[in-house]
Amino acid sequence: MLNFTCDYTEGAHPLILQRLAETNLMQEAGYGEDAFSASARERIRAAVGVRDADVFFLVGGTQTNATVIDALLHGYEGVIAAQTGHIAVHEAGAVESAGHKVLTLPSHQGKLDAGELERYLEDFYADAAWPHMVCPGMVYLSFPTEYGTLYSKHELMCIQAVCRRYRLPLFVDGARLGYGLASDGCDISLPELAQCCDVFYIGGTKVGALCGEAVVFPKGAPAHFFTTVKQHGALLAKGRLTGIQFDVLFTDGLYFSISRNAVQRALELKALFLEKGIPLYIDSPTNQQFPILTKAQIDALEGKVRFEIWERLPDGRCVTRFATSWATFSESIAALAELLGEFEQS
Amino acid sequence: MLNFTCDYTEGAHPLILQRLAETNLMQEAGYGEDAFSASARERIRAAVGVRDADVFFLVGGTQTNATVIDALLHGYEGVIAAQTGHIAVHEAGAVESAGHKVLTLPSHQGKLDAGELERYLEDFYADAAWPHMVCPGMVYLSFPTEYGTLYSKHELMCIQAVCRRYRLPLFVDGARLGYGLASDGCDISLPELAQCCDVFYIGGTKVGALCGEAVVFPKGAPAHFFTTVKQHGALLAKGRLTGIQFDVLFTDGLYFSISRNAVQRALELKALFLEKGIPLYIDSPTNQQFPILTKAQIDALEGKVRFEIWERLPDGRCVTRFATSWATFSESIAALAELLGEFEQS
Amino acid sequence: MLNFTCDYTEGAHPLILQRLAETNLMQEAGYGEDAFSASARERIRAAVGVRDADVFFLVGGTQTNATVIDALLHGYEGVIAAQTGHIAVHEAGAVESAGHKVLTLPSHQGKLDAGELERYLEDFYADAAWPHMVCPGMVYLSFPTEYGTLYSKHELMCIQAVCRRYRLPLFVDGARLGYGLASDGCDISLPELAQCCDVFYIGGTKVGALCGEAVVFPKGAPAHFFTTVKQHGALLAKGRLTGIQFDVLFTDGLYFSISRNAVQRALELKALFLEKGIPLYIDSPTNQQFPILTKAQIDALEGKVRFEIWERLPDGRCVTRFATSWATFSESIAALAELLGEFEQS
Amino acid sequence: MLNFTCDYTEGAHPLILQRLAETNLMQEAGYGEDAFSASARERIRAAVGVRDADVFFLVGGTQTNATVIDALLHGYEGVIAAQTGHIAVHEAGAVESAGHKVLTLPSHQGKLDAGELERYLEDFYADAAWPHMVCPGMVYLSFPTEYGTLYSKHELMCIQAVCRRYRLPLFVDGARLGYGLASDGCDISLPELAQCCDVFYIGGTKVGALCGEAVVFPKGAPAHFFTTVKQHGALLAKGRLTGIQFDVLFTDGLYFSISRNAVQRALELKALFLEKGIPLYIDSPTNQQFPILTKAQIDALEGKVRFEIWERLPDGRCVTRFATSWATFSESIAALAELLGEFEQS
């Protein structure tokens, strides 16, 4: 059966498994003090263009968001996010469980708007009662967003400018960062992104690794971040597991070629849907596509191809999600095309 | 260089890597809903002898402790542990960061004493001010302990009896469970252990896996434990990573043969130290040995063998830790014997 | 200067001060174990019509909300509130600081809508991803609301019905409960309200006391609620302070006569504004009125009468708040009438 | 019946009640913005000899400890206290519920020892595993201690010196501060104490007020402390309640004369016990005395005088606590003398 449910249906890119096997008997220190992690940190510093960036390897996205946010906020502060932001919806309250409120602003196809952000901050401090409210303490955004959309460089610069004016750290959730950077719709480079924010992470789990997210602090990490990571249960004893994976991902541009493959396949999907007259919910330039299918179409695909139901529309149709990854091959797209072909005739 | 620092200096047992490679392209659902995790859960249920036990796979030990404890305690409750318990010392305050106090009792070579536990509980409720104090809400112990020692079946039954009397869940931290069960000093079987407690975990990270701890609730998990796991950032998108590993570990008794090898090597180490007149800090029957070395001995080994300095004694000598694992071969013990031989002559 | 800023600009009702003085030298136990608190609890049980209700005295509103919510929720649960709910906006993140998310629904003049609540719950559990999200664990509403409005008995019964269907406790924040019950717009009695919810509190601070909120659990309090109160720093050593106050407030119907006076004065205010052609933002039947004033009007009142600026409208006018209390006398309304009179002519 | 149970068995000093009555109808702003609180802050600044100290009024001791500690610590830090410290034992886990560990050191009649503190800190950072542990983030001590004992000026200076060396804020819990300062055994003045620490509080509840603790930051409060206070539910809407009380307590030295009365009565108690051959558990120079009574003696006093059972000794005798306050008159001591007299003859 074809499977486009998500970008984590397979294991890891084969080069990662190969390297895990090659290095398996080398004895190394734990907790990220191993030579592989050191090498991976160096490669990432080179890729982001900041020679003295602090880099940490955590295990998963929710964990990374909770840990970074907890490390950056004071107790009386909250984190600003779009209403559709992953931390606001799909992280089981991890941010709140560490004591912080998620302060939500409207979502524009998954994105925050710099103007709205600025007005929110102006209004907040214009309200005499602000000391009775949660202080905005940082800004969180996802790149790409949960809807597969991208901020333009200009949009990011505008948000960064507001953040600077209000001295708010800017945190970019890059669970699918590669797919953003590899998109034709992206006009910002990784080093430019690194300049633009205070902390971001380079997602591994959804971009070819078994697990792992690389947190980058271009201007340096908060004090004792290692201990904060440990406290959040995010420190691997065998730190080599994430170290080796990121070392491979950032060797010979693998992270980027994986991402390009996925985006290329996604664009083929998109073309296919449009060709078949299937509307798209959002014009996504990255590895997630959101075709709107009728109940009949969904039924026809049942048992032949897997995908996610994203949202039910009032008219009975469904927004669905088709995702691609390093492991999506042209053959799969061709097979889907065939299915949609039959389907057209029926 | 020889390396006895800990039981996580290498990658994973080769059969695990082999299985990760074989299954790599099979498409599976995320978040533990994959077929590998389902199979691993079944094998673990069989091994612990409880057909309807709830089994969850988390990533690391500190995370597992914090998640399980948070799930079992009410807000007004704390967890009882030995003063030397991992949660009391080496988890960066993860339990407290979820709002709970660790209530410590004296440690007897790493172990709680059932009598002391009972007196503590009696005294607690005899004190009229108890509602102003943190209520004891569960008991935590490590098997083996942080000092490599083991509770006898009788000791565990006594602790269990006190727990039952006070309706306190008993949680066994089995980060190194295999090494305990494989020891000649162990008189309890895995199914007996499962009968004895309310929740325990089978450590993978330190017993041959890349990462992963299998949490077992013999009498059923607390409601919505999945969501609690997610909230603690302990849910892998690629749940297959831990599922596959535990599936391999619990096929053909691999978990137990790995453990036996480590314990066998550790006993060789122990014999070697005693033969060389090196005293042991604690009489450990498991994979961690604690020889007391003089400064001269430590200097002589420098650059030739790695181990951990555990504690400095007032007389200048050091308690050290030598650990073995699946990846400790007889050759390493022989090489160490040779070093200690030279060392004797010097 | 006239002062309508809020309902806590004066000290306490004189009968309270008198009773504090009379009882001052009587020696009593601390922490709510005193005879005054016992008497107050009995009087409140009689007033709410539940002979075995559990009653606790806490100090302030934010504290009470945080304590009750923390006591009722599991770690993986959040509390549903209107977007304008006090806990969602003006409590500095107290609920989140105890680890829980506030799940917001639209506000209809401060009120939740039972239909929207039900659809939210249906949609929540219809979403396959719900275990990745914060579970709704209770419903919070304010009576009267932050906008001075009231739920009808029918509206409350509908919300209660939804809560029962989903087994969610219903919590009524009664910081200004008296003003609600004393309003002509109110069609529910205190005993009916007590039947309708799982926990509510009778506000003292804003209804004539120096401080104090009486939390009532008609069906019994959660286990160890006393300890939870202590943990939240909400337990007075001199529990007599709140005990005496509520004992007085619930003697000879003082709580209700205080409330009726305030509502009567507020209706006079309302009539006055309408008579002067000043529009009201909301048709409030309780002790808070929200006239919309122009900048010129606000300037004219400056230095003569105090009130709160609630919200600036796009057209430059301001929603203001005028509140009354036990200490608002007809003379003050007359004086304001005179000021508004001049003001009309200018 | 005589009552020496604690120092909060009565209401407030009569001058406080009188002032509450006099000011009752004056209209003032809420949340500590009233003129009474402003005046009280000025008087306290004068009394502590720091013109620009930040002063906040909170309601109770546990709340104050939790709020101050939460405001000063980073998430990865804990607070050092004596094992017998109030925060370590009798605050229902309030510090932990805000996410922080209480790191305990031995208690010497309730006191921390500067040398032990220093060794603890040295050992902590000497342990290579310290980043896996909770970092010491501040030091907490009680003055007087929970056993009524006092630190000498020299002892405090030594502790302060260690704190400075390790850049740890020093927090003095002064729930009974007056009784310490009024003792003949005290060689430090209030201004000297203020110089010695980073934050302390002047207890009101146990020294003549209905409620209230004045937190003083001689070197300035942490940013947004007001919001932290609100978040902890410690902000009174009628801030005048604590403002007026501290204004009275710091007018004409009332706080000190109240304290002197209590200490004088306590010394009379002490003399009485010794005269009757009743041993004291601890040589306390403040308002709490700890006579050791036999079961027969306790039975004989039953129904005639109230006091607290502090601890049962192995030989069957009990350490008891007799406390005095502003409301303990010489007549009560005389009456107790008579009872003990009878008691001697029986």
Q: How far is CA B232 from the centre of its chain?
A: 20
Min Cα separation B234/chain A (Å): 7
- A201 strand-pairing partners: A215
Compute the half-sphere exposure of residue A268: CA atoms within 13 Å on the CB side of its CA. Answer: 18
Residue B1's pLDDT band (boundaries 50, 70, 90)? confident
pLDDT tier, A136 (very low <50, low <70, confident <90, very high otherwise): very high
Q: Residue C228 — φ and ψ, nearest 5°?
A: -60, -40
Residues of D within 8 A of A98 (CB-CB) are: 75, 99
Cα–Cα distance list, C105 to A92, C117, C120 (Å): 18, 7, 8
Helix (H, G, I), strand (E, B) or coil at C142: strand
Q: How far apart are CA D66 and CA C63, in angstroms?
A: 13
Sequence-ordered list of residues with C-beta below 8 angstroms from that of D239, at least 6 positions apart, any chain = D30, D31, D32, D33, D34, D37, D57
Asked whether the predicted pLDDT for residue A286 surpasses 90, the reply is yes
β-sheet bridge partners, residue C321 = C308
**Which residue out of A70, A84, A96 would a mutagenesis test of the C interface target, given it has the greatest number of C Cβ atoms within 10 Å?**
A96
Q: How far is the C-alpha of D185 from the C-alpha of D178, rounded, in Å?
A: 13
Question: CATH fold of D14-252, please?
Answer: Aspartate Aminotransferase; domain 2 (3.40.640)
Confidence grade of residue B345 (pLDDT, cut at 50, 70, 90): low
CA distance B322 to B276: 15
CATH number of the domain located at residue range(s) B14-254 in this protein? 3.40.640.10
- Which residues partner with D82 through β-bridges? D105
Mean pLDDT, range A232-254, rounded to an integer? 98
Looking at the complex, does the CB of residue C296 fall below 8 Å from at least one CB of chain D?
no
A129 interface with D at CB cutoff 8 Å: no
Residue with tokens 């013999």: B218
Closest approach of D208 to chain C, Cα-based (Å) = 11
Amino acid identity, position B87: I
Torsional class of D152: left (φ above 0), alpha (ψ -120 to 50), beta (otherwise): beta
Q: What single string gives the DSSP state of each residue in C9-75?
A: SS---HHHHHHHHHTTT----STT-SHHHHHHHHHHHHHHT-TT-EEEEES-HHHHHHHHHHHH--T
User: In chain C, what residues touch A133 (CB-CB under 8 Å)?
Assistant: 89-90, 92-93
Per-residue model confidence (pLDDT) at position C346 = 54
Interface test with D, best of B5, B101, B146, B321 (most D CBs within 10 A): B101
Task: Give the model's confidence band at D342: pLDDT under 50 very low, under 70 low, under 90 confident, else very high.
Answer: confident
Strands (E), chain C: 2-3, 54-58, 77-82, 102-105, 135-142, 170-173, 199-203, 213-217, 288-289, 292-293, 305-306, 308-312, 318-323
- pLDDT tens profile C81-113: 999 999 999 999 999 999 999 999 999 999 999
Q: Half-sphere exposure of residue D15, counting CA atoms within 13 Å on the CB side? A: 16
- For chains B and D, what is the number of CB pairs under 8 angstroms? 56
Report DSSP state, residue A280.
B
The greatest distance separating any two alpha carbons of chain D, rounded to the nearest whole angstrom, comes to 64
A107 band by pLDDT with thresholds 50, 70 and 90: very high
- Contact A61/B at CB under 8 A: yes
For residue range C286-311, list pLDDT tens digits in order. 999 999 999 999 999 999 999 999 98
**d(Cα A37, Cα C217) in Å, to the nearest integer?**
55
A22 and B CB contact within 8 Å: no
**Surface of A (63-92) touching B: CB under 8 A:** 63-64, 66-67, 91-92
Contact C75 B70 (CB under 8 A): yes
CB atoms B9 and A30 under 8 Å = yes
* Distance of alpha carbon D232 from alpha carbon D225, whole angstroms: 10
For residue A343, the model assigns a pLDDT of 66
Residue of A nearest to D131 (CA): A227
Q: Reduced to 3 states, what is the DSSP secondary structure of residue C225? A: helix
For chain B, strand residue ranges (E) read 2-3, 54-58, 77-82, 102-105, 135-142, 170-173, 199-203, 213-217, 288-289, 292-293, 305-306, 308-312, 318-323
Nearest CA among B91, B312, B236 for reference residue A31: B91
Q: Least CB-CB distance to A30: which of B6, B12, B63? A: B6
Rounded mean pLDDT of chain A? 96
Q: Do C230 and B131 touch (CB under 8 A)?
A: yes
| pLDDT exceeds cutoff 90 at C122 | yes
Q: Which two tokens stand for residue B163?
A: 């727990």
Phi, psi for B5 (deg, rounded to 5): -55, -45
Rounded average pLDDT over B249-269: 98
- Mark yes or no for CB contact D75/A226 under 8 Å: no
Q: Which residues contact C257 (CB under 8 A, 6 or more apart)?
A: none
The token pair that represents B13 in the structure block: 């047992």
Chain A CB contacts of D56 under 8 Å are none
Shortest Cα distance from D185 to chain B (angstroms)?
29
Helix locations, C132-239, DSSP H: 153-165, 177-181, 190-196, 225-231
Q: Can you tell me the mean pLDDT for A227-241?
A: 98
CB-based contact, A314 to chain C, within 8 Å: no
Q: How many CB pairs under 8 A join C and D?
A: 160
Contact B224 C135 (CB under 8 A): yes
Q: Identify the CATH number of the domain defined by range D2-7+255-345.
A: 3.90.1150.10
Q: Which of residues 274-293 of C touch D (CB under 8 A)?
A: none
Note the pLDDT of residue D81: 98
**Where would I find the H helices in A292-329?**
295-301
pLDDT of residue C138: 98
| pLDDT of amino acid D346 | 54
Of D47, D66, D69, nearest to D181 by C-alpha is D47
Give chains near D: 3+ CB pairs under 8 A.
A, B, C
- B76 vs C227: CB contact, 8 Å cut-off? yes
pLDDT at D238: 98
Lowest mean per-residue pLDDT among A65-74, B335-344, C64-73, D77-86: B335-344
CB contact under 8 A, D17 and C12: no
- State both tokens at A335: 């097979």
A210, B241: Cβ pair inside 8 Å? yes
Mean pLDDT of D227-254: 98
Q: What pLDDT, on the 0 to 100 scale, is given for residue B343?
A: 67
Both tokens of residue B176? 């190194």
pLDDT for the residue numbered A341 = 85
Check CB contact under 8 Å for C96 and A76. Answer: no
Quote the percentage of chain B above a pLDDT of 70: 99
Using the beta-carbon criterion (under 8 Å), do B230 and C132 form an inter-chain contact? yes
Are B227 and C131 a contacting pair at CB < 8 A? Answer: yes
- Which of C31, C33, C56, C74 to mutate against chain B (most B CBs within 10 Å)? C74
Is C93 in Cβ contact with A78 (below 8 Å)? yes
Inter-chain touch B231–A17, beta carbons under 8 Å = no
pLDDT digits (tens, 9 = 90+) for D129-170: 999 999 999 999 999 999 999 999 999 999 999 999 999 999
pLDDT at A55 over 60: yes
Q: How far apart are the first and last CA of chain B?
A: 20
pLDDT one-digit tens code per residue, C19-54: 999 999 999 999 999 999 999 999 999 999 999 999
Residues A187-233: tens digit of each pLDDT: 999 999 999 999 999 999 999 999 999 999 999 999 999 999 999 99
Question: What pTM, to 2 d.p., does this model score?
Answer: 0.97
User: How many alpha carbons fall within 13 Å on the CB side of residue C239?
Assistant: 25
Closest CA to A62 of B75, B31, B72: B31
Instruction: Compute the distance between CA of residue B310 and CA of residue C111 in angstroms, rounded to an integer.
Output: 61
Residue A140 in 3-state DSSP? strand
Tell me the two tokens of residue D84: 């017998």
C241, two tokens: 């302070």
Helix (H, G, I), strand (E, B) or coil at C310: strand
Burial of A125 (0-12, 13-18, 19+ CB in 10 A): exposed
Which CATH code, of 2.30.130.10, 3.40.630.30, 3.40.640.10, 2.160.10.10, is assigned to C14-253? 3.40.640.10
How far, in Å, CA of D211 to CA of C30, rounded? 12
Chain C CB contacts of D93 below 8 Å: 231
CA–CA separation, C115 vs D133, rounded Å? 50
Q: B134, D96: Cβ pair inside 8 Å?
A: yes
**Residue A322: beta bridge partners?**
A289
Search chain A and give the residue with CA nearest D68: A75
Query: Any chain D CB within 8 A of the CB of A125?
Result: no
Would the pLDDT of C253 be above 60? yes
Say if residues B239 and B57 touch (Cβ distance below 8 Å): yes
Subunits next to C (3 or more Cβ pairs <8 Å) are A, B, D
Cis peptide before C191 (omega within 30 of 0): no
Residue C97 has, within 13 A of its CA and on its CB side, a CA count of: 37
Burial of A32 (0-12, 13-18, 19+ CB in 10 A): buried
Q: Where exactly are the structural domains of chain C?
A: 2-7+255-345, 14-253
User: Cα angle vertex A106, ends A100, A110, to 5°?
Assistant: 95
**HEC per residue, B169-186:** CEEEECCCHHHHHCCCCC
Architecture of domain B2-7+259-345: Alpha-Beta Complex (3.90)
Distance CA A101, CA D165 (A): 36
In which band, very low, low, confident or very high, does the pLDDT at B341 lie, cut at 50, 70 and 90? confident
First-to-last alpha carbon distance for chain C, in angstroms, is 20
Chains contacting B (3+ CB pairs below 8 angstroms): A, C, D
Could you give phi then psi for residue B317, rounded to 5 degrees? -75, 165
For β-strands A102-105 and B2-3, DSSP reports them as unpaired
Contact list, C227 vs chain D (CB under 8 Å): 92
Q: How confident is residue C1, by pLDDT bands cut at 50, 70 and 90?
A: confident
Taking only the tens place, the pLDDT of each residue in B10-29 is 999 999 999 999 999 999 99
Residue C292 tokens read as: 């919309």
Tell which of B89, B97, B130 to mutate to test the D interface (max D CBs under 10 Å). B97
Q: How far is CA C73 from the centre of its chain?
A: 21
The pair of structure tokens assigned to A229 is: 């990571």
Return mean pLDDT, chain D: 96
Do residues B67 and A233 touch, judged by C-beta distance below 8 A? yes
Looking up tokens 């299998």 gives B214
* Cβ contacts of A135 on chain D, cutoff 8 Å: 224, 227
Cα A22 to Cα A15: distance, rounded to the nearest angstrom: 10
Query: Percentage of chain C surpassing pLDDT 90?
Result: 97
Instruction: Name chain D contacts of C235, Cβ cutoff 8 Å.
Output: 60, 62
B99 has a chain C CB within 8 A of its CB: yes
Confidence of residue A181 (pLDDT cuts 50, 70, 90): very high
**B97, D99: Cβ pair inside 8 Å?**
yes
